[in-house]
Amino acid sequence: MADIALQGISKKFGPNTALRGVDIDIKDGEFFVLLGQTGAGKTTTLRVIAGLEKPDTGKVMIEGQDATRWNAAERDVALVLQQYSLYPRLTVRGNLEFPLKSRTQNFTAKEIKERVERVAETLQITRLLDRKVEKLSGGEMQRVSIGRAIVRQPRVFLMDEPLSALDANLRDVLRVELKKLHQELGATFVFVTHDQVEAMSMGDKIGVLDRGKLIQVGTPDDIYARPLNTFVARSVGTPPMNLIDGVLKASKAILDAGGQALPVSNPRGKDGQNIRFGIRPEDVVVAPDAPAEARIFDVENHGVIKILTLDLEGTHVHATVSAQMRVKIDDTVRFGWKPEKVLYFDPANGRNLSLS
Amino acid sequence: MARIEMVNVQKFFGQNQVLKDLHLTIEDGEFVVMLGQSGGGKTTALRAIAGLETVTSGKIVIDGVEVQDRKAADRDIAFVFQSFSLYPHMTVRENIAFPLRAVRMDAAERNRAVNETAETLQIAQHLDRKPSALSGGDMQRVAIGRALVRRPQALLMDEPLGVLDSKLREQMRAEIKRLHIARGSTSVYVTHDQIEAMSLADRIVILHDGVLQQIGAPDEVYLHPKNLFVAKFVGSPVMNIADVQIDGSDVMLKGVSTGFTFAESDLAGLAKSGAGTTLGLRPEAILLTHAETPGYAEAVSTNIEPLGSHDIVDVRLGDTILRVRTESGFVSGEGQPVWVGLDTAQAHFFDNKTELNLRGVA
C-alpha cells in the first residue's frame, strides 16, 4: 500500500513536450483517475509512475521515499494495459502463475497455487483456469490481465484504458467489478482514461490533464459542479456543459446570440462585463412560460430522456428534457435556465469567476 | 420517391442463412434505420435492396416493380458506405460529378447540380480540393453528395458515421436528418448504435440472427419491446431482468419475501405461462425511497455511479442486483439500506421460453 507523489514532473520527447510541471498527490488506497484526450499526457504520467519513463525534471515519491531513480521492478507496481498482452499459448493458469515464477520471486508451488486460485475466484474466472487464453472472449482476457497484475499483490495498480477495447455492455459490468476489486484489495489505483463516464463513476479523485498540464484535481462532484475553467467544464458530462457568451446587465444575462435576456442569481462579475455563461444541459429549462425563444435544430432520443439542440442564431445549446416531451426539428420553443446553476467564466482566459 | 418492399426474402451464404423470411415495407419518404449487432443481417438486407447482393428467394419491390433480378445500376438507388470510397486523384467537384458523367449529363447542367448539392452539404468551399485535404466529416459529406447528386429514388447508408469521432458523429447525424427532411427521399440507414437509431428513425427495424424482431417508431420500440432481445438491445444501461413467480396479484423476486403488488388487469393471463416469467425493468422504472414505504421491498445499495446529471445506483434485492436511475446524490454510498418500488406501468413480462413480451405489445 502506498502514497504516490509527483513533484514538478516535466518530460519531453524530442521537440514535443509531453508533461509540463505536473504535481499530483495520490493517497494510499485511493482510486485516482487521470482524464484527458489523446496527447494530454496521461499515459506518459502513468509510465513515469511505473518507472518506464524517466522524467526530465521533477521527483517521483513513493511512500515518502524518492523513487525517481528506482527501476520498474523496484517500485512494486503492476500495469494493466488496453491490449491484453497475455501469452496466447499458455492456459489462464499459466498466465496467472507467470509473474510468480520469475527468478526474483521465491514462491513455493503450493503458495503459487493458492494465490492463483484466490485471484481466479475474485475475478470469477475459476472455470476458465485450464483453458487456452486464445479461446477466451475480450472481457475474459481482460479479467486474466487484471488477474496477472493482482497475483503479485503489488502496492500500486496502474491501469491504462483497460476497458476501452470492450463493448459497451461489458464495459458497464467491468466498471462495477473494478471498483469492487479496488475496495477489496485496498490498494492504490491509478487509472487512465479518455472516457468521462469511467472517470466520474469510478474515481475517488479525478485529475484532468490538458496538453501536458494538470488543470484540476478533485472529487467527481468538484469536477462536475465546480470546474476551475471552461476546459474542465467541458471535459465531463454528456452532452458537455453549454458555454454561451453574453453580457451581465442589470442583474440579467444578455446573450450575444439574439440578445435575449435570462435571469441570474448571485452573479459573478461587474455590470456590463462580458461573461461566458456555463449551464449544464439538464439545467436548461424548456417550458411554455420560459423567458427566451429558440428553434429546435436537432432532437436526440435516448429513451429515458431526449436531448434537444436549440439554435440561437447559430449558437447551439443542448437541453436535456423528459422523453415524454413532444417536439420535432424546426419547432420554435421557449427556453430558460435554472439561475442558481449558472456558472460564470472569464471569456479571456476561461477561468471560473465563482472560484476566484 | 420510392416505396420499398421486401417480400419473404431469404438469403444464404453457402450453408449459412443470413436473412430468414424477411418481410417489411418502407414507405415513400420514410427514414428507416436497420439496427442490430454485427452478423444480424442488417447490412445484407441493405445490400439486397441496393442490388449489391442477390437474394436466394423472395421479392424486392420498388414502387410496385419487382427489381430483385435487376442490376444495382438499374434500381436508381444511391449507396453511402462507412469507408468514404472517394477517388483520391479527383477533386471534390469531380468526385461529386462522377455519377452524372456516367449518365452523360451535359456540362452546364452537371455543374449546376454539383454546386447545388455542395451548397446543401456546406462543402462548396472545398470543391476544388482533393479528398486527402479534407477532414473525416467533410469526406463523408462529399460521399453523401456524390450519392445525392443524381437525385436517386432512395438513399441507402451503411454505418456512414462509424469511423467518425463522437462529437462529429452527433453533428453529422443532425445534418443527415435535416437533409432527409429537406429532400424528402426515402432513406434506409444501417447502424449498431441504438442512440443513432432512436434519434434518426421514423421507424426502426431490429434484426437479430437474420430474423426481423420488431419494426416500430423509436418510442414504441423503447416502451413496448416485442421480445427480450429488443428490450435488452435498446436502452442504456440495459433493462434489468429477473426471474419472477406470480402469485395472485403479487410478483415475487427470488430471495425477497415481499411481493410487488400489481393491478389484477396487469397480470391477467401471465401466471398461466408454464415456462415461467421474466420481469423486465428499465433503470427509470425502479423507484427508491429512504424510508420504509408500503408496497416497497427492503434492499441495500452495492454500487453508485455518479454521472453528474444523474446517478446509476446498483441495489441488491434478494438474489438480484438491479440498476436504478436516480437523481444525483440520492443514495450517498454503498451499503445503504433503501426501499425499492416499481412503476408497474413500466414493467415488462417476458415468457421464459419464447422470450416474447406478454404485455403491452402494440
Q: Chain A: give the shortest CA distance to residue B125, in Å.
A: 19
Evaluate the CA torsion angle B42, B44, B46, B49 in order and state its sign.
negative
Q: Three cell numbers at B261?
A: 403488488
Tens place of pLDDT per residue across chain B (362 aa): 699 999 999 999 999 999 999 999 999 999 999 999 988 999 999 999 999 999 999 999 999 999 999 999 889 899 998 887 899 999 999 999 999 988 888 899 999 999 989 988 889 999 999 999 998 889 999 999 999 888 888 999 999 998 888 778 888 898 899 889 988 889 999 999 999 999 999 999 999 999 999 999 999 999 999 999 999 999 999 999 999 988 888 899 999 988 899 988 888 777 665 568 999 999 999 999 999 999 999 999 999 999 999 999 999 999 999 999 999 999 999 999 999 999 999 999 999 999 999 875 43
| pLDDT (0 to 100) of residue B167 | 79
Nearest beta carbon to residue B235 from set A281, A303, A329: A303
| pLDDT (0 to 100) of residue A171 | 86
Amino acid letter, A44: T
Q: Chain A: give the shortest CA distance to residue B11, in Å.
A: 28
| pLDDT (0 to 100) of residue A155 | 86
Say whether B234 and A303 touch across the interface (CB within 8 A): yes
Select from B97, B172, B95, B99 the least CA-distant residue to B136: B172
Say whether B303 and A176 touch across the interface (CB within 8 A): yes
Q: Which residue has the higher pLDDT, B191 or A104?
A: B191
Interface test with A, best of B303, B316, B327 (most A CBs within 10 A): B303
Q: Which residue has the higher pLDDT, A266 or B58?
A: B58
Query: Alpha-carbon distance A10 to A1, whole Å?
Result: 26
Say whether A298 and B177 touch across the interface (CB within 8 A): yes
Say whether A303 and B325 touch across the interface (CB within 8 A): no
Interface test with B, best of A201, A204, A295, A325 (most B CBs within 10 A): A201
Say whether A323 and B219 touch across the interface (CB within 8 A): yes
ipTM for this prediction:
0.86
pTM of the model as a whole: 0.88
Query: Nearest chain B Cα to A329, which residue?
Result: B178
Select from A169, A148, A174, A26 the least CA-distant residue to A84: A148
Residues of A in contact with B310 (CB under 8 A): 282
| pLDDT (0 to 100) of residue A327 | 94
Say whether B284 and A298 touch across the interface (CB within 8 A): no
| pLDDT (0 to 100) of residue B275 | 64
| pLDDT (0 to 100) of residue B168 | 81
Q: What is the residue-wise DSSP string for A50-71? A: HTSS--SEEEEEETTEE-TT--
Query: Alpha-carbon distance B26 to B39, whole Å?
Result: 22
Query: Nearest chain A Cα to B197, which residue?
Result: A301
- The answer to whether the beta carbons of residues A220 and A202 sit under 8 Å apart is no
Query: Alpha-carbon distance B174 to A156, whole Å?
Result: 45
| pLDDT (0 to 100) of residue A1 | 55
Select from B13, B24, B26 the least CA-distant residue to B55: B13
Span of A13-17, A146-150, B40-44, B267-271 with lowest mean pLDDT? B267-271
Q: Give the DSSP H or E segment for B145.
A: helix B136-148
| pLDDT (0 to 100) of residue B362 | 37
Query: Alpha-carbon distance B51 to B60, whole Å?
Result: 9
**How many residue pairs bridge chain A and chain B with CB atoms within 8 Å of each other?**
80
Query: Alpha-carbon distance B76 to B81, whole Å?
Result: 17
| pLDDT (0 to 100) of residue B272 | 61
Select from A233, A248, A188 the least CA-distant residue to A4: A188
Residues of A in contact with B303 (CB under 8 A): 176, 179-180
The label of the residue with cell 493482482 reads A150
Q: Which residue has the higher pLDDT, A319 or B137?
A: A319
| pLDDT (0 to 100) of residue B276 | 83
